[in-house]
Structure 1
């Protein structure tokens, strides 16, 4: 199938400082910070280092609150119920630590969940005696199947359901609104729902305030051009007084969200520079960027899949695309990590690799700095590397 590459956005590649000798095809992992955002953060660091005491002691809380309002508006969240945190995994860990779980409780996730979240759930279960239940969802499933798999995994002991909006390992969009509505219809408010939306800001319009979930967390440093270490945790009104920070600092007795945001000598410049990232994204055109990225990701996937003879599922409209690897290749996490490093070292290409249900999958991302030749380079070198 011929999927043509989209026209590049004029001048977009010049907005970044990445190494042009490398094919950067894993934007979904750590993002790519535009030069304008780098400079904005550097100016903030210079201000901080010129007079650290004044930077931290005079007006910083108000500046953080201003940024929070700006970022919350971007995702449609209530700014008074939203806190800035380091990343989506941190937000999830805060939720897990605030529920008061015990031996009679269960946490439900899906087998598409993010690995670090699974580790946090496992640690919580060891500490509290709670039980972790995993809903199995097929790689290619319609919305009704996904909703049913989650709802049917809930029992009378379930206290928390964690669902991804965009899955990291498998690059699928889950119907979180349908899941929330189905859980509410069957279990009411008894079961709390946490949406892991790490990849959503910049990709989708989540309208967090209308979602009806108890908790929502999303990264701004992946697809919204913020400096790394910038994410949001949004909490429904009924839970805000129960949220506890992972690290206790001077504002531990303050109300949410201030109790989470003040962690002493944290480098707040990433948060303060985040609105510049949104400015860059909006200047390019949010809808235009999304269309470009989705089309380029699908083009790249077809080029690489054809090169290794892989069949791929239907396009998802995301800027991340999945390619199944031959059976036995990268079939476990250690092998996937090793192969990713070989691709980086030998092909000068950065990709995502995961092992899911005993099968290795290559995940390709696309953003405005990518070109078709980035994927062609991978397609030319990958077949020989896989044979070796």
Structure 2
């Protein structure tokens, strides 16, 4: 199937799923960095939401309702993406010039995952409930089906295609080959506290040696055997996360936490774990030393705060979100050369954020602050951010 035919099919799907732009629906663009000029909207990219914000927020007014807030954002391309939160899912097919409501209902989304523009999965609760359920959609997100009446323990999901996917919590990894209908446990090393699989056979695990160190392990046979590829000493070993794409691998290892400060190290490999660079070693007064030893490329991570999610692009670029609630700052850090250099970018006001990048320059960030929840876009790798869609919560 050539690219033109595929794009035509996607367009048809968007129409049936209610994702295509309605003329005149858009969002105001206001630069966060005052010194930077506002980007010129693309031709036909209007400003103002023309009712979408008003309609959504009207349904969430009153003392017994929670203000609308974004919890996750995911873009498949520079044009097509979605953002979700408590009881809603919105989408765009023109790079954020216009957003349209895709879903509104009982589900409070915590994470969304779309391997293509039609099939998607989500971890969500019913309104303000604590129980978390796995949902599936086959129409781009307009309707959702709960796959089981039982709550799940997953903290994160990731699907490779419309059938294969992984569900993770800190200690365990599960695999499905039927779109989430059934799951099997993948064997990981004892004391695993974070894992990532890029296929059914190839995976990574962060193993805690209590009071001593972290060990990063690798499997190429589906968990039947594991090999240590990295060790980082610390008495504060408790949790880590692996991010992998192709030969790029990053190990995020947490140290101590205290006084609203987080210590951590970020190790990167460009050769599937054959060798490693200590990219970030953030040491804080409240959290203590960063895990591991040796010279690091950077002494602070984005916003000098707690690390958020990470996105790997191509063979050499990687973006890490970071937020510091006490200072009300959210931002990103990045490398475009496999961690040989690192740069922390412009921050925006907020206390929590999550990112989605589609190439080495364009990305989106969903941010919560005290007065609003906002979607930002960047076209210069986070040097500047522009607000594209915002739910105001002040004065409620």
Query: With structure 2 as the length reference, what TM-score do the two structures score?
Result: 0.26
Between 1 and 2, higher relative CO (CA 8 Å, sep ≥ 6) is seen in 1
The answer to which structure has the higher helix fraction is 1
Taking structure 1 as the reference length, the TM-score comes to 0.26
Q: Specify which structure has the higher proportion of strand.
A: 2
